């Protein structure tokens, strides 16, 4: 009997080792797997490389993980905003490395990693400092840049509903990067607000099939709100 539900977030991330590459879903706080991130901080691995859309907000979630000293490098498209003071300070002190990737390229590279592609050509960034030293090619009269796929040891994502097989549905904007990160890692760990019985999820509504999911942790929405308030 296939059952991917794990009893706690701490157990779900228990084998994350030093120097792991980890994709973390979320568009800012929307769809961010906060309790999985908190569990990762309790484990305290070092030298992590994070792949995420942004570099944290305020003092919680990704920002807290970086502040804890666990992160060596972050690959993201939107590192600076009004409440990114944790990243700003670490970067200015040269305590964290940044690989800046245009958002469309970030998505395409993750999708390439999940699809098993060797590389992709994209016009985005051609002629800028972001693509210095990279291979370029003229295709049908337009210049393109060779970009490598992104893969990870682990993906931490958040979903709205799941069954014990790991089939997932998402809540509106909370969907964001989760569905493309799941296939791009060796082990996908999902924080989910609701557990459904087998057969309760409409097959037409399933966004991420269970084949891409390794572990599911049930964190009820009320509990997630409670944790976010710092209690």
Q: What pLDDT, on a 0 to 100 scale, did the predictor assign at position 223? A: 54
Question: How confident is the model over 136-154, as a mean pLDDT?
Answer: 97
Q: How many CA atoms lie within 13 A of 82 on its CB side?
A: 0
Residues 6+ apart with CB under 8 A from 137: 121, 143, 144, 146
Q: Which pLDDT tens digit goes with each residue over 51-98?
A: 999 999 899 999 999 999 999 999 999 998 888 999 999 999 999 999
Within 18-169, strands assigned E span 21-24, 48-51, 71-76, 97-100, 120-122, 136-139, 142-147, 152-162, 168-169
Using a cut of 0.85, tell me whether the model's pTM lies above it. Answer: yes
CA distance 113 to 110: 5
CA distance 127 to 18: 36
- The β-bridge partners of 24 are 156
Burial 101-129 (b: 16+ CB within 10 A, else e): bbeebbbbbbbbbbeeeeebbbebbbeee
Q: CA dihedral in degrees (212, 213, 219, 220; nearest 10)?
A: 50
Q: Which pLDDT tens digit goes with each residue over 86-139?
A: 999 999 999 999 999 999 999 999 999 999 999 999 999 999 998 899 999 999
Structure-block tokens of residue 66 = 């970086």
Residue 225 has pLDDT above 60, yes or no: no
Confidence of residue 222 (pLDDT cuts 50, 70, 90): low
Contact in structure between 157 and 31 (CB atoms under 8 Å):
yes
Residue 230 has pLDDT above 90, yes or no: no
Read off the DSSP letter of residue 118.
Answer: S
Residue 49 has pLDDT above 70, yes or no: yes
């Amino acid at each position: 009997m296939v059952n991917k539900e794990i009893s706690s977030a701490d157990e779900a991330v228990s084998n994350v080792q030093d120097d792991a590459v980890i994709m973390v879903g979320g568009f800012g706080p929307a769809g961010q797997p906060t309790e999985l991130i908190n569990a990762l901080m309790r484990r305290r691995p070092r030298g992590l490389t994070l792949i995420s859309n942004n570099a944290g907000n305020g003092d919680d979630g990704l920002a807290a993980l970086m502040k804890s000293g666990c992160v060596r490098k972050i690959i993201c498209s939107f590192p600076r905003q009004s409440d990114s003071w944790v990243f700003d300070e670490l970067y200015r002190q040269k305590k964290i490395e940044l690989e800046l990737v245009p958002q469309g390229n970030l998505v395409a590279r993750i999708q390439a990693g999940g699809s098993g592609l060797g590389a992709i050509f994209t016009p985005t960034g051609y002629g800028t400092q972001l693509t210095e030293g990279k291979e370029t090619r003229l295709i049908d009269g337009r210049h393109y840049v060779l970009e490598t796929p992104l893969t990870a040891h682990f993906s931490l994502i958040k979903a709205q509903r799941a069954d014990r097989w790991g089939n997932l549905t998402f809540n509106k904007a909370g969907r964001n990067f989760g569905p493309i990160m799941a296939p791009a890692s060796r082990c996908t760990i999902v924080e989910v607000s609701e557990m459904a019985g087998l057969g309760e999820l409409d097959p037409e509504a399933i966004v991420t099939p269970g084949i891409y999911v390794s572990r599911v942790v049930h964190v009820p929405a009320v509990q997630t709100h409670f944790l976010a308030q710092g209690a």
